[in-house]
Structure formats: structure tokens, C-alpha cells
Amino acid sequence: MKSMEKIVSLCKRRGYLFQSSEIYGGIQGFWDYGPLGVELKRNLKDAWWHDMISGHNELVKPESAPTPFEMVGLDSTIIMHPQVWKCSGHYDLFHDHMVDCRESKKRYRFDQIRGRWVEYQDKKVFVTTMAEAEQELEEVRRRGMKFFRLRNKDADKITVGDESLTLDKLDSTENVLAPDAKSLDTLTEPREFNLMFKTTLGALGGEDDTTFLRPETAQGIFVNFKNVLDSSRVGLPFGIGQVGKSFRNEITPRNFTFRSREFEQMEIEFFCHPDQSQQWYRYWRDRRLAWYKELGLSDESLIMREHHQEELAHYSVGTADIEYAFPFLPEGEYGELEGIAHRGDFDLRSHMEGKLDPSTRPMQVELGEDGKPKYRGSGRDLSYRDEATNEKFVPHVVEPSAGADRGALAFLCEAYTEDEAPDEKGKMQTRTVMKLHPRLAPIKAAVFPLVKKDGMPEVAHEIYGELKRHMNVFYDEKGAVGRRYRRQDEAGTPYCITVDTDTLTDRTVTIRDRDTLEQTRVKIDDVVADLRTRING
């Protein structure tokens, strides 16, 4: 199993990710992307945008799709009218369950506290910890011994359970030792905690001026459905894609960038006829899983998990999660990478008529005590008229919703590899290499002169300048060429171009492949085309 500790260390050392406001001690749940990290994340978003939106050919029916379809883009605001969040259900329903520890005064998300049963003599307690998965067993054992007041020499007198459980799987918290407590039964009953960040519009700051930072990008698409329909001449089926920031006031952000308070989403809202919605749901579910595999995530690390009925959101007809085996999770467990939801007509109807009542089937507008809609809709007609059949209906929606930050983290975890490669003297040495797909790699190629003389730097400058017009490349002439290779391997650079003595006579260079270590001679005039083929092939 890969070590999350090593991956986090590399991310800091090589400039992939930094703790936000680190010089002031950091701020939990917020992360900054360094010089390599910002390129990786941008490349991931660009790949998604090209493959899903701008590169889509609406004239051709993709394999397994019911029909051809159109795709367009949108960029909506982070702050929207407060009524958006009332009609969408976020104002009432967007919450997690939290517990407070009466002893430590700390707050935790109920379903994120993990622990194991620990037995000593005739007493059995559930010892919890917020440590990462790879430290969990050791930390539970340490805390269990401390609770029972045992010394190291008595370690074999306690029994630690094999099964790691979250707190929500227990019937009671009576025998629970909270993560930062010394006594049992210090946790309160779970309570609902709204995850939206409040903010204020205007200068007065009264209750009527309260609004929220968006917790998802989807609602910006729904409220613009009619605008896109009227301005773009698109017809059903079609999708609207958006990449943008979202904010959730997570109770216990943890696991590196997996659960953050500020994050970026890559979302599609795909509008279709109700009779075809199940087919489109299956199409997008399978297509999105295949996309991750095309960019390098392995079959062994990915699963597709259909939600059980009790897990479904209030709007959902069906939901599947693409999950990845992140190294911070216990072996055999997976974390959500992307959700594909069949949302039915909930969103468009809610923004037309008012917030729908999730307890009704079929869903009806939720009424207040006065018998009027609890949260009034816009009153705008968001239905669709099919010009060919003259049929009028509210489209159903399929939503593939991916996290750019979780995606970047998954690709970093997948890419981290330790193998052996010869150094400059031919001796085998352990090599740390980030085997990122060339489309995602922050630096596409590095250019080296073999030595800093004999005209080699001048030729290397020429090649570097030409490549820089087409892609992100790096120039390095410091140190032995073997060490330069190692630096680029650790940064994830897929190709290194070396100018040597032969270059000065035949105008060819060596292109070295990061993964296979194969070296190929290529004419200088062909380098740009050769790299483009390698990267996009």
C-alpha cells in the first residue's frame, strides 16, 4: 500500500500543494496549489473541458449513447439570489450530523470518527481517533493502553479489534472514548449542521441581506437553463458544463485535500426527455468511469458503486459514485471521486413552482402553515417544447459531478511510484517517479545541454524557445545529467530532451521516456511534432 505520508511530503517538497496561510500556522480545510500543482489542476480541468465540452462532436452519435447530443459551457457567479438555495433544498436540507465532546470542547462530524473495540480483562471500550488510516491501529492501541493505565511491557494484555468502524455504525456512544477525551461517554447526541457559508450583500448587513457562497455549481446551470436554450439554439438532448469554485463549511476537513472547505467542481447538467433519462444515466455513468481510466487511474483502484435507496438524495431517481482507493483509507475501502445522479425534474420544477416536498410521490410543492408555497419559485416557465412533435414537458436531468481537487489528488496518489533506475555511473538506485499521464503532467518536457560548453547551451536554448510556444517546458543545465533526470522524474515530467555532441553535427537530440527509460534520436525540426504525438497519442 502506498504511503500517504510520502505523497504529502513530495507535494510540499516539489511545489504541488501547500497548506493555506502556512506562515501563520495554516487554516484547516484550505489548500494552495504551488507551481507544479496549479499546472496539474489546470491540465485536469482543460482535459475535462475538452473531452466533455469543446471537443465534443454533436454530429456523431457516440458509442452506447441513445442519440447524438450537443454540449455547451457556462460560468455562473459564486453568489446568487438567496431564493436559489431555498428552492434547491440546500437551505433546509444541506447538512451533516455533528457531535460535540463535552470534555475537550471539540466538534466532529459524526460519520467521520473512526475507532476500534479495545478489551482489557472484563472491560470493553470503543477507542476513537482522527489519525490517518495507516496510523489508526497504532494510535488506538496507544490510547487504549493509556486509558487502562498500562505500560509498554503490558501491551500484550489488551486486545484491539481487527475491524475499523465509524461512530455512526454503533448503537450507543456510552462506551466511546472520544478522539481527544480521557473519559468515556463525553459525546453529545448528533445534531444537524448546515454546511453553507453565510455572507452579506450590501452595506447594511441586516437579516434580509444574508446570502451564501454556493455549495455547488449545479444551481447556476439550472437557473440559466432558459437563457442557454434561447441564446444557443440547442435542442434536447444537450448538456451544460461548468468548472468553478464551491464552498462547504465542513465540520472536520481532513485527509489532505480530499475534504476541503473551498474546492473546485467540474459539473455537467444533461437535459433529456424523461423517457430516455435512464439510458442517458447509464451512458454518462459508463463514460465518466472510462475517462478516468484513459487518463491513468487503474482498474484495481476504481469501483462504480450504485447508491442504495436509503442513500439517495431527496431529488435523485438513481445515483452512482465513481470511487477511488485513496491511500489514506483502510485497505479495501474507497472514497468518492465523482457522483453521477439522475435528478429527475426536481431542479427545474423547484425553480419554476417552488421547493418540492421530498416526502411526496410524485413530488409536490412544499406548503407552509398558510397553505402557500414554503419557498416561492421564480414563476418562469422552464419547460421545453419539442419543435418536431410539439410536445411540452419539463426535462429530466443527469448530473455527472466531479471534483477537480479530488481528481488531482487521485492522480497524484496513482502516479507516485518507487522503482529502480541506473544513476549517471550505471549503478541501480531507488527512484521516486510521478507517473502522471502526459496530458496531465505539469511540465511536458525538460531540455538539457549535456555540458555547459561547445555550443550545446545555445542549441538547447533554441529548442527550449520553440517548445515554449506550444507547451510548458523546463530548462536545466545544472549538475550531472543523471541527477537532472531524477529531478524531472520526481516532478512527473514525461520526456527529457538532451543536446549532446552528436547534436552539433547531425541536428538530432535524445528524447528520454520517463516510464520506460527508452531513449530515441529525433531531428530538432521534428521535436515539437514528436512530443505532441507522444502527449496526445
CA distance 424 to 480: 7
Least confident of 204-218, 289-303, 451-465, 471-485: 204-218
Which residues have CB under 8 Å from 378's CB, separation 6+?
83, 87, 223, 351, 352
Residue 420 has pLDDT above 90, yes or no: no
| Mean of pLDDT values over 10-17 | 94
pLDDT value at position 406? Answer: 95
Q: How confident is the model at residue 2 (pLDDT cuts 50, 70, 90)?
A: confident
Say if residue 263 carries a ligand binding annotation: yes
Confidence of residue 113 (pLDDT cuts 50, 70, 90): confident
In this predicted structure, the answer to whether residue 375 has a pLDDT above a threshold of 90 is no
The response to whether 267 counts as a known ligand-binding position is: yes
Looking at residue 473, what is its pLDDT?
Answer: 97
- Mean pLDDT of the 64-86 span: 94
Residue 402 marked ligand-binding: yes
Q: Which DSSP string corresponds to 115-168?
A: EEEEEETTEEEEEEE-S-HHHHHHHHHHHHHHHTT--GGGGGGEEE-S--EEGG
Q: Is 98 annotated as a binding residue?
A: no
Percent of the chain scoring above 70 in pLDDT: 96
Query: 21: phi > 0 → left, psi -120 to 50 → alpha, else beta; which?
Result: left
In angstroms, the CA 423 to CA 227 distance is 60
Cell numbers of 408, please? Answer: 488531482
Contact 474, 39 (CB under 8 A): no
262 appears as a binding residue in the annotation? yes
The answer to whether the annotation marks 249 as part of a ligand binding site is yes
The predicted pLDDT at position 352 comes to 93
pLDDT in tens, 257-271: 998 999 999 999 999
Specify whether the CB–CB gap between 167 and 113 falls below 8 A: yes
Does 132 show up as a binding residue in the annotation?
A: no
Residue 308 has pLDDT above 80, yes or no: no
**100 or 437, which is more confident:** 437
Would you call the peptide bond into 362 cis, given omega within 30 degrees of 0 as the criterion?
A: yes
Q: Are the beta carbons of 490 and 433 closer than 8 angstroms?
A: yes
Residue 66 CB partners (closer than 8 Å, separation 6+): 237, 276, 279, 280, 283
pLDDT of residue 1: 62
| Residue 248: CB atoms within 10 Å | 22
C-alpha cell read off for 449: 545541454
Give the residue among 266, 262, 215 at the shortest CA–CA distance from 46: 266
Please report which confidence band the pLDDT of residue 84 belongs to, taking 50, 70 and 90 as the band edges. Answer: very high
259 in a known ligand binding site: yes
Structural domains in the chain?
4-88+209-411 (3.30.930.10), 97-193 (no CATH), 443-536 (3.40.50.800)
Percent of the chain with pLDDT over 90: 64
Is 28 flagged in the annotation as binding? no
Is 260 marked as binding a ligand? Answer: yes
Instruction: Say whether 30 counts as a known binding-site residue.
Output: no
403 assigned binding-site residue: yes
The pLDDT value recorded for residue 216 is 94
- Ligand-binding annotation for 181, yes or no, is no
Average per-residue pLDDT for the chain: 90
341 annotated among ligand-binding-site residues: no
57 is in an annotated binding site: no
Is 183 annotated to bind a ligand? Reply is no
pLDDT at res. 315: 54
| 406 three-class SS | helix
The answer to whether the annotation marks 399 as part of a ligand binding site is: yes
pTM for the whole thing?
A: 0.83
Known binding residue 258? Answer is: yes
Region 156-185: what's the mean pLDDT? 89
Arithmetic mean of pLDDT, 394-412: 96
User: Is residue 401 annotated as involved in ligand binding?
Assistant: yes
CB count within 10 Å of CB 130 equals 17
Contacts of 253 (CB under 8 A, 6+ apart): 28, 29, 259, 260, 261
Whether the pLDDT of residue 302 is over 70: the answer is yes
Report residue 106's pLDDT band, with 50, 70 and 90 as the boundaries: confident
Taking phi over 0 as left and psi of -120 to 50 as alpha, with beta for the rest, 19 belongs to: beta
Is residue 517 part of an annotated ligand binding site? Answer: no
Q: Report, as an integer, the average pLDDT of 320-324.
A: 95
Is 287 labelled as part of a ligand binding site?
A: no
Is 232 annotated as contributing to ligand binding? no
